[in-house]
A = this chain, B = another copy of it.
Amino acid sequence: MAFRGQYDCTMDDKGRIKMPATLRKQFPAEEKGAFMIAKDIEECLVIYPMKEWEEQEARLMKLNQFDPTLRQFASAMMIGLTEVQFDNADRFLVQKSLTKYLGSSKDVVLLGKFNRIQIWDAAKLEQYNNSGQANIKQLAEEAAAYMDKLEGKEKSKQ
């Protein structure tokens, strides 16, 4: 499961967004159009297909609820979640309580990112992207170092 691509969309006056056909087709058919929306770590919302969320949830459920740290982690993952469905025109509703995490405008961007889809306010994304481009060299270096470590290499040996 990997969503890819950036799609410029608009939100109607009721807060509904039409899922672009290309992305829509990538949702597992057996899920009959239900998925989760959450606040993302970045300044946007994020969509998880049900299957992805359920896997996450199953892991969280195993955490000992009497351990403060584990408990707070589980809470952190649950806060800000909403379950939504596509209507028969492949639109979905972003609830009033969530729209405040986007922006004021009707222009949003759906951004495929691995197993999930981010929902950005168009202006915010551009701003975020600009700052990322400005630092892209540093970001890349840090990422490279991290990946090397993961793969058991020493940066110095490269």
A113 and B75 contact, Cβ closer than 8 Å, known pairs A22-B83, A83-B4: yes
Tell which of A60, A78, A142, A146 has the most Cβ of chain B within 10 Å: A78
Q: B57, B76, B82: which contacts A129 (Cβ < 8 A)?
A: B76
A21 at the binding interface (Cβ < 8 Å): no
Contact B41 A129 (CB under 8 A): no
What are 17 A-B contacts defined by CB distance under 8 Å? Answer: A4-B57, A4-B81, A6-B79, A6-B97, A7-B97, A8-B97, A62-B150, A69-B142, A70-B146, A72-B131, A73-B132, A73-B142, A73-B143, A76-B139, A79-B111, A79-B125, A80-B129
Q: How far is the CB of A52 from chain B (nearest CB, A)?
A: 13
Contact A111 B72 (CB under 8 A): no
A82 and B139 contact, Cβ closer than 8 Å, known pairs A70-B146, A71-B42, A75-B132: no
Please report A residues at the B interface, Cβ cutoff 8 Å.
Answer: 2, 4-8, 22, 36, 41-42, 53, 57, 59-67, 69-76, 78-83, 97, 111-114, 125, 128-129, 131-133, 135-136, 138-140, 142-143, 146-147, 150
Chain B residue at minimal CB-CB distance from A50: B4
Tell which of A59, A111, A139 has the most Cβ of chain B within 10 Å: A139
- Given the complex of chains A and B, what is the CA–CA distance between A133 and B77 in angstroms? 10
